[in-house]
Structure formats: structure tokens, C-alpha cells
Amino acid sequence: MSITKRFFGKLSDGREVTAFKITNQDGTEAEILDYGVTLRTLKILDKNNNFIDVVLGYDTAEEYEQNDGYFGAVVGRFANRIRGGKFVLNGTQYSLALNNGENHLHGGKFGFNRYVWNAKEVENGIEFSITSPDGDEGYPGKLDVTVTVTFINGELTLSYHAISDKDTILNLTNHSYFNLNGCGNILDHLLTVNAETFTINDSGCLPTGEIVSVKNTAMDFLSERKIGELIESDDPSVKLCGGYDSNFILSKSPAAVVRSKESGIVMTVTTNQPGMQFYTANKTTKRAGKNGAEYNRRSGFCMETQHFPDSINHPEWPTCILKAGEEFKSFTKYSFLLDK
């Protein structure tokens, strides 16, 4: 295994972006930018022994900075939405930056996806770190965050660590768009999700607070089914947000398995997080991607392992509160194999 780095580009404010490439003996490679700990490339061997780049991304730093959709990035401090950007912690009301209508999404206007992280080589990968100051986007506490990305034996692992000097809230995930064929849409990908229930959305893609069974809904992936099978149906779980954009409540491990018959690639997602937002690029508009690719609606799918959206406003759900001085730890592993 080897790790190399190269100058990737400059942001509009002059900050420099570096790309780190992890290459394994079999030629599989992962490229990660220090801008947002963005997974730019993930090359996996398909059934015909060709390399397929299974994540969407761009060629330039400028495109990462300007385009919407959080392509490949780590999002935080709070992945997903917080209603009205408001929450109460220890009797104090906090107001966060609003960047999604009246709501707060993926950490706000200058979330973790916009930081250039410090990078250090570690065994089998790279450790990225930042310090987010007290009051950053409205969040309490100075927060030290580390995300370690390793890639070995077909397993890409993101390990998240954080510590705050005040009680705060935290919800970290990665926003990669996967496509196991490398191009085209993801409607024929076969999906299994080990979730018996999910949190219902309102029309703003925020949880109403109600938890329901996946049975008899478009969210039932307990048995393998094509992503596209019910995506255009009248079921409110897909209709309200233009496709899949809901949080599964994970019931056992692994969280999910995705297969493409075309490439023969099988991706398994394992995590210690209680939920997973499954998002089918409903809002991705036509745009140019890396290496001449063209992306559009449904070009990729995201598996955002996380705490439930808006969970700070639902105290009955698994807590996203990080107490002062306590260590936050989470991981998500994406493993790639070929179908037998």
C-alpha cells in the first residue's frame, strides 16, 4: 500500500487543497481531499477486472466549492436538518445558521465540508483534524474533531472522534454519492437495508416525530429490491421529497448491502450509528462531473449513517448530546466485494 499527495487546487479565498491517494497492491485506490475530507475517487475492480470509480466527484477545487450537494464530504457539526435551526441544551436556547429555507442543514453555511483539514499519514490511511471554535455556526463549545480514513482489503473505513470543552450536540457523517456502475443512474441497483422502522418526514424533509414500520411502504428493503422499484410511486415516503430522502432506524448489522448486477460489485455498509439517511440524489441537477462524466438526478445514492435528523428536538430518540470532556467515537465502513 502507498500514500501519495498532490496539489489539487485553490479555493476562492486562496486556501490550498491537497489530494491524498491511497493505493493498494491490487490497484484499488481511494483519493481524499483535505477540503471537507472529501472522498473524491474510489476505484474498485469489477467482475471483468476493470476499475470502476464508484463515487461521484469533480475535477477542480472550484467545482467542489461552488456546487451544491456535499459531494463526497464529511458533514457536521450536525448532519441533516434541525428544525428552525433551534434547540435547547441545559436550559439555553441556541440558534444555528439557517441554510435550508428556515432550517439548518449539514452544519450550516460554513460546515465541516468547507474546512481545509490538517492531514497526517497514519497506518493504512490518513488522519484529518480540525478545531471548530466555540459558537461556530451557532453551536456551543470548542470542538476538536478527527476523521481517520483507511482503505485496505476492499474496506474503506471512516472513524470519527471528537471532544468538546462545553456540552454540545454532534452528528457526523459522510455524504458520498455512490454508483456501483461508475455512471448512469442507480435505479437498477439492488438494495437491502436492515431497518424495520423509519422516521416519517414532513414536506420539508424533517421528521414529524412519528416512527413507523417499513412494512407496506416504499421503505421496505428488508428483502432485496431494486432502488427504482417504488421510487416514483405515490407512497409518501418517496413522494414528499422527490425520491428517497428518509432516515432508516437500523435494526441489525450490516446496515445495508447494495449490489449491481452490471459491475458485479457488492457494497456493504457497517456502522455503530443508530440511523441512516438514504438519499437518491433527488435534487442533483444536470452537471459535469470528473473525467468527462455527466451527472443528473439519480446518478448516485448516499448512505448517510447518522443520528436521526433533528434528534436534539426529540429527546425520546438516541441522544446526539456530547458532554464536555467526553470522547465522541463513531465509525462507518464501506466494504467492497464481487458477487459470487
Residues binding ligand BGC (CB under 6 A): 69-70, 80, 205, 245, 277, 279, 283, 304
Under DSSP, is residue 297 helix (H, G, I), strand (E, B) or coil? Answer: coil
**Residue 316 known to be catalytic:** no
Closest CB to ligand BGC among 101 and 133? 101
Q: Which residue has the cell 416512527?
A: 211
Q: For ligand BGC, give the closer residue by CB, 28 or 271.
A: 271
Other Cβ atoms within 10 Å of 233 Cβ, number = 12
- Least Cβ distance, residue 168 to ligand BGC (angstroms): 21
| 314 flagged as catalytic | no
| Peptide bond just before 140 cis, omega within 30 deg | no
To ligand BGC, the closest distance from the beta carbon of 129 in angstroms equals 24
Q: What are the grid coordinates assigned to 119, written together? A: 492531514
**Greatest Cα-to-Cα distance within the chain, rounded to the nearest angstrom:** 59
Q: Would you say 42 or 205 has its CB closer to ligand BGC?
A: 205
The distance of Cα 175 from the centroid of its chain, to the nearest Å, equals 3
CB of 151 to ligand BGC, least distance (A): 23
Q: Is the peptide bond before 298 cis (omega within 30 degrees of 0)?
A: no
Q: How far is the CB of 265 from ligand BGC (least distance, A)?
A: 23
Q: How far is the CB of 114 from ligand BGC (least distance, A)?
A: 14
Closer by beta carbon to ligand BGC, 18 or else 67: 67
Catalytic choice (104, 304, 307, 314): 304
CB within 8 A of 91, min separation 6: which ones? none
Residue 28 or 80 having the CB closest to ligand BGC: 80
Q: Which is nearer to ligand BGC, 125 or 289 (CB)?
A: 289
Q: Catalytic pick from 104, 106, 175, 189?
A: 175
Least separation in angstroms between residue 337's CB and ligand BGC is 26
Contacts of 47 (CB under 8 A, 6+ apart): 263, 264, 265, 338, 339
3-state SS class at 216: coil
- Count of Cβ atoms closer than 10 Å to residue 120 Cβ: 11
**What residue has cell string 463513531?**
330
Give CA–CA dist 270/255, Å, rounded. 5
Q: How far is the CB of 70 from ligand BGC (least distance, A)?
A: 5
Q: What is the spatial distance between Cα 23 and Cα 53, in angstroms, rounded to a whole number?
A: 13
Say if strands 92-95 and 245-250 run parallel, antiparallel, or are unpaired.
unpaired
The partner residues of 333 in beta bridges, in order of sequence, read 157, 270
Nearer to ligand BGC, 80 or 330 (CB): 80
**CA distance linking residue 199 with residue 208, whole number of Å:** 8
Which H, E and C letters describe 99-166, residue by residue? CECCEEECCCCCCHHHCECEEEEECCEEEEEEEECCCHHHCCCCEEEEEEEEEECCEEEEEEEEEECC
Nearest residue to the partner ligand BGC, using Cβ:
69
Catalytic residues, by residue number, are 175, 304
